[in-house]
Structure 1
Amino acid sequence: KVGIIIIGEEIPKMKYKEIFSSPLDFPANKMHIQDGELPSVINELSVTLLVNVQSCNEGWQSIFQKGVNNTLTPGLWINPNSTNLHARFSTNTESNFGIHEISVGLELNKWYYIGYTLSEPLKRMDIYLNRKWVGFKSIEQVLQEK
């Protein structure tokens, strides 16, 4: 079951736009929403979801990704052979930037509330697990135009 909230420049501060008004139940073969159907990330983004990991996998398990191919703004996966989160986003200079592995592994068959925030003004991404802050990534070298 997934709920996604997008915060953007065109929406007044402290308000949000709900894309899905009720939880979605994804079938086993996954559900894909076309990238063009989602609003673009302009300033800030917040994604919240309930996740229940039922098994480990040898490959990457995708939780969500906006974009195609190497565009990862935002993106959240589960690392191969583990239940650790892999949170990513794209910058102007790097298409695959973020936290390789959040050390708090998810227990199998247990529901978790995950929060993913991305802020262009703050130049950072924050990850929350059951409303506790568990990781962040900042852009340390911001390009300066001359």
Structure 2
Amino acid sequence: MDITIHQSYLPQDDPEAALAFYRDTLGFEVRQDVGYQGMRWITVGPPNQPSTGIVLHPPAADPGITEDERKTITEMMAKGTYAGVNLATKDLDEAFAKIQAGGAEVVQEPTVQPYGIRDCAFRDPAGNMIRIQELR
């Protein structure tokens, strides 16, 4: 069986801020930018991985979600506990400096974790946790 990761989803509540972070700060390509009924779904991904993408989607766009659930999602996004993604790089210090200079909220500076991984963490403009691990 040959299965790959094609897309992952992260909520965004400000498409322009999401674009600035993922395109301009992280250097991802914009693969699709689709609008529908006043909402936007933006697919981005690393230039060297054309078949892997992150879809930045409107939170709670599902019509089956109640107002209470929308409120909970909004609160969780604000705290950074709703969604996240782990990325990786060969040069963690360089990536950290660039992302920090881009104004992202730093959650954790580069650190060797007790389980052996060296990583750092940021929040994107929507509050999603973005961890970046250093490749060995």
TM-score range, shorter chain: under 0.3
| TM-score (normalizing by structure 2) | 0.25
TM, length-normalised to structure 1: 0.24
When you count helix as a share of all residues, which structure comes out higher?
2
Question: RCO higher in 1 or 2 (8 Å CA, sep ≥ 6)?
Answer: 2
